[in-house]
Structure 1
Amino acid sequence: MTRKPNPTPTNIEALRTGSLSDPPTPGVYIEVQTGRGRVTRIWKYRRRFPGKTSSHKATLGSYPTFSMANAREWATNINTGVERGINPTEVRQAEAAAHITVSDAHALYIAHVKSGVRRKLKPGTIVNTLADRLRMTQPSVFKHLKCRVR
């Protein structure tokens, strides 16, 4: 059985396919992605939660933008929570949900629609104008959620 080399800058640069894990830091590895004549090396993280079948996956970014030291520090922070059984994705989603109200979400949506970023509607969309969207959402949504609207 051949042993995979430890990730050093030389070994990472020489890697053309597959992935290379970092034994000192559980969960972190560098994966090679090829396409359009380019070779991109991406730092990734994957680790199972203790005593569970689910796992946590995350992507840091490309090498050499993020060095091996950056990747190890990033993975160590994630490992601290994973070893305690804390899912970083759930924590991030809970923090985001705690800071936004229904009226804030609606205001963001309307601002996005007014910005005109997406001018064409998908085929089969019933709502054609901003006035139609406002007419449909405001009465039904705010009538039932008055306690949550500021």
Structure 2
Amino acid sequence: MTTPRRLLVIALIAFLAALAGVFVGRALVDAPRANETELHAMLHRDLKLSPAQQQRLGPIEAQFKARHEALERAMRAANVRLAQAIEAEHGYGPQVTKAIDETHAVMGELQKETLQHLFAMRGVLDPDQAKMFDKVVVEALTADAR
């Protein structure tokens, strides 16, 4: 294989690796979160919230939505940097490692924010509602472990 052709093949592989990184990242961020959706549906549908509880949940939901959207934007940006690092290094080098660490940090922050949101929602519930809520949360977190 000639040098120009070899370089073209390497560039193509690097480009495909970068695209794969972007698509994997998008799948992680943009994939429907059935557990979160299911939990919210249960909360609003099955727990028979009082008007006062629904009113208290409004600001909690709005605050989480804003924070969640900001973290999703941060995740997309981290994925772009990961793709750029893959493209630049053509392997598992220090830039890729740094970009992966950044992606994991954003993922961790999103998980923490989600749990804080769940606990804030739980604080609005009466003891019977909280018991049902806890059951659904545990089932959602352990669904894939079975």
Report the structure, 1 or 2, having the larger strand content: 1
Q: Which of these two proteins has the greater Rg computed from alpha carbons?
A: 1
Report the structure, 1 or 2, having the larger helix content: 2
Q: Same fold (TM over 0.5)?
A: no
Band of TM-score, shorter chain: under 0.3
TM-score (norm 1): 0.23
TM-score (norm 2): 0.23
